[in-house]
Amino acid sequence: MTPTVYIRSATQDDVLCLSVLATQVFLDTYATTGIRPAIAREVLQSFSIAAIATLLDLPGTFFHVAERDGHLLGFSQITVGRRQELVSAICPAELDRLYVQEPFTRMRLGSQLLHAAETSAASHGADLMWLTPWAHNARALQFYAKQNYADIGRTSFLMDGEAHENRVLCKQLKALK
């Protein structure tokens, strides 16, 4: 019998595992030709234990984790109130990250984590969720299209002074009653 996967809010007790999980998924996704200084610096800056601990304490930033039998399998991170120039909304929320370890990508964890992120954003007053996935991440772009996210344009992600094309996707959120 397979243990149940639970989706829950992250706590400071999750920082170590979130740091390592984020690093692993980022490298699996973006370092497909190996590690170079720009990627190494991005990982060490964005996913250090201190960086993740700081994010968990930021007002308006919320993490959800997928956990099975004491092991983290994936997580989502949102920031309510963050704006993007192509997005028109009264109170937008950014889906900063939705990371699932590769062995668990076909278990609907991404959909469950996204639903938790959308629900959390709406409960904190957001009327729209937006994100900026890498333009060459075909699997992510297909996933978000299936989740009814509209592609509204392009933007760039700067990593160590290098510009990388991202797409801007958004979805109206249903108001909670």
50/11 Cα distance (integer angstroms): 14
Q: Which pTM does this prediction carry? A: 0.93
Superfamily of domain 5-172: Gcn5-related N-acetyltransferase (GNAT) (3.40.630.30)
77-86 pLDDT, tens per residue?
999 999 888 8
91-136 pLDDT, tens per residue?
999 999 999 999 999 899 999 999 999 999 999 999 999 999 999 9
At residue 174 the predicted structure's pLDDT band, cuts being 50, 70 and 90, is confident
* Burial label, 24 (beta-carbon count in 10 A; 0-12, 13-18, 19+): middle
124-172 pLDDT, tens per residue?
999 999 999 999 999 999 999 999 999 999 998 888 888 889 999 999 9
76/112 Cα distance (integer angstroms): 10
Q: Concatenated DSSP letters for 5-47?
A: EEEEE--GGGHHHHHHHHHHHHHHHH-TT---HHHHHHHHHHS
Domain locations along the chain = 5-172
Residue with tokens 């993490």: 63
